[in-house]
Amino acid sequence: MAKSENETPAPIRPVPRLPKGFRDIGAAEIREQQAMLTKIRGVYERYGFEPLETPAIEYTDALGKFLPDQDRPNEGVFSFQDEDEQWLSLRYDLTAPLARFVAENFDKLPKPFRRYATGSVFRNEKPGPGRFRQFTQFDADTVGAESIAADAEMCMLAADTLEALGIPRGDYVIKVNNRKVLDGIMEEVGLVGPEFATRRLTVLRALDKLDKFSEQEVLLLLTVGRKDASGDFTPGALLDVDAAERILSTVKNTQQYFVPSDDMNRAKQLDKAIEGNATYNTGFEELTQIHSMVRAAGYGVDRIRIDPSVIRGLEYYTGPVFEAELTFEVKNEDGQTVRFGSVGGGGRYDDLVARFTGQKVPATGFSIGVSRLQAALASLGKKSSDTLGPVVVLVMDKGEVAAYQKLTQTLRAAGIRAEMYLGSAGMKAQMKYADKRGSPLVVIQGSDERAKGEVTLKDLIEGAKAAAAIKDNKEWKEARPAQLAIPETDLVAKVREILARHET
C-alpha cells in the first residue's frame, strides 16, 4: 500500500545504549562504595590530610607526563577543543590536577601541603572484563616534603586503610621499592642514555613480573623473549645472559637484606660493583630509612616490606614506590584460584610541579583503586548488609491524599525513610511496588481505619516468611500474617520497632 504524500514520517529515535567501556551503577553498589569511602576518609583525616576537589576537565597540556602520547591528545585520554581551539581533556588521574593546583597556588599554600581527593577518572583505552573507561580513585598526597618520612607515612597510611576496611593482617602487604635502586642497577649493565629508553622500559616490565613468573621466565623476558602457553610471544630486552643474571641477582640480594631476617645489622650480600653506584646507594639508603621508620612505628614485615620487584609507574616516579597488594585467594568466574593483587599504590614524584614552575617541588602520594578494592571486600564477605528500602504509605482513597502525605511527613520528621505512593494503581499493584522498592513494611489507612484514628502496618519481610510456611489460601486469610492495626499516634514508635528488628 502506497504512503500518502501528507503522511508524517516516523520519528528517528536514538537507541538507548551505554558507551563502550562505561557502566551504570545501581543503588546497592553506590551505598557500599559510599560506606567504604567514609572509612577511607576517616583514616586520611586522622593522618591530617585535608580534602580538595578539582574539576574533571583540565587543559590537555597540564596532564604532561600523564599523557600516553602528547603528539596525539586523543590517545589515552578523552579530549576535545573549546571555542578558543584549546585542547581540554577529562582527567586521567587525580595527581596531574593536584600538580596544576599546587603550581597555580604555590605561594598561598602551607608547605608541606597535605590533601586527599576522590572522584572519577577517565581512560580512553580498550575496555575489557572488569576494566572500564571511567572508575573511581581515592588519593592522598604530601607536596613540599623532601623527608623520606613522608614516604614511610604513605606506607603506614595504606596499611591502616586496608585494616580499617576489614582486611586482616596476613591478607595484604604493602610492598616498597625505590626507582633509584632500579636506575642504579640498569646503569651497571650499560642501559644509560635516551637511546636505551625502550630497552629500560622492557627491563622494568620484565622485573614487574617477578611476583607472577619464575626467575627463569623473567630471565627470558630480559634476554631473548618469552612464549607463553597459548603461543603468544613477548619480545625481550635483548640483554646478554650475564647482564640479565646480574640484574636478577641484585634485585634478589637487595630484597634478602631486608627479609626474611628483618635484621638491619646483617652484612649486605651485594657485589662490590653495585655498592659503588651512587644512584643505587641513594635509593638503598632511602629504603633503609623507610624500613627503620615503619618498624619503629610497629609495622612488621607482614604488613610493610621492601620488595625490589615493585615497579609502579614507568615514567614519572623519582624515588620510593609502593604497592598495596591483597594476598588472599579467590575463585574467578571460571572456577580458577586467583589473587586480587594490587588495589592501590603510589610513590615519590619530585619533578611534576616543576613542569609548570621550573622549580623542583618534592611530592609523594598514594592512590586506591576504589572499584577493585570494593570487589575484593565483597569476596571477603565484608559487604554491608543490604539497605532496607523506604516505608511506603499506600494511597487507599485518592480523595484523601493530604492525609496520606501527613502520615508520610510524620515518619520523615522522625528520621524514618518513607514515601507516599505517587502512582494511580490499586492496592495490589501498590503492594508489588513496595516489594520492588525493598520496603520492609507498608502503612495502610482506609476510611474505616481513619474513622477510628488507626493505621494498619504490614511487615512485608515477616509476611514473606509466613507466606512460605502457609499451605492454602484459607489458612492465609485466617492467619493475616505480620499485619496489625495500631493507633495513629503510635505510628512512629511501632514503625521504629519493626525496622529495628530487621536492621539487626
480 and 412 together in one domain? yes
User: From residue 393, how far is each of 174, 216, 466 by CA, in Å?
Assistant: 51, 68, 22
Domain boundary among 379, 402, 428: 379
Residue type at 397? D
Number of domains in the chain: 2
Q: Is residue 86 part of a domain?
A: no
DSSP helix, strand, coil percent of the chain (3-state; round to 5): 40, 20, 40
Q: Is residue 107 part of a domain?
A: yes
Q: Is residue 369 part of a domain?
A: yes
Task: Please state whether the predicted TM-score (pTM) of the whole model is above 0.85.
Answer: no
Coil vs helix vs strand at 124 = strand
Q: How far apart are CA 236 and CA 205, in angstroms?
A: 10
CATH number of the domain encompassing residue 298: 3.30.930.10
Residue type at 60? T
pLDDT tens digit sequence for 126-153: 877 767 899 999 999 999 999 999 999 9
Domain hosting residue 337, numbered range: 27-56+91-180+288-379
Task: Provide the grid cell at 339.
Answer: 589473587
397 and 484 together in one domain? yes
CATH number of the domain encompassing residue 403: 3.40.50.800
340 and 426 together in one domain? no
Q: Is residue 407 part of a domain?
A: yes
Least trusted range by pLDDT, from 51-55, 105-109, 266-270: 266-270
433 and 481 together in one domain? yes
399 and 364 together in one domain? no
42 and 140 together in one domain? yes
pLDDT confidence of 4, banded at 50, 70, 90? low
Q: Is residue 110 part of a domain?
A: yes
Q: Is residue 236 part of a domain?
A: no
175 and 299 together in one domain? yes
467 and 374 together in one domain? no
399 and 341 together in one domain? no
426 and 350 together in one domain? no
Q: Which residues, 6+ apart, have CB-to-CB distance to 351 below 8 Å?
A: 316, 318, 360
Residue 319 DSSP class: S
Q: Please check the confidence at residue 316 and state whether its pLDDT lies above 80.
A: no
38 and 150 together in one domain? yes
Q: How far apart are CA 70 and CA 481, in angstroms?
A: 68
36 and 155 together in one domain? yes
Once rounded to an integer, what is the mean pLDDT over residues 17-38?
91
Q: How far apart are CA 375 and CA 130, in angstroms?
A: 10
Q: Is residue 221 part of a domain?
A: no
pLDDT tens digit sequence for 395-423: 999 999 999 999 999 999 999 999 999 99
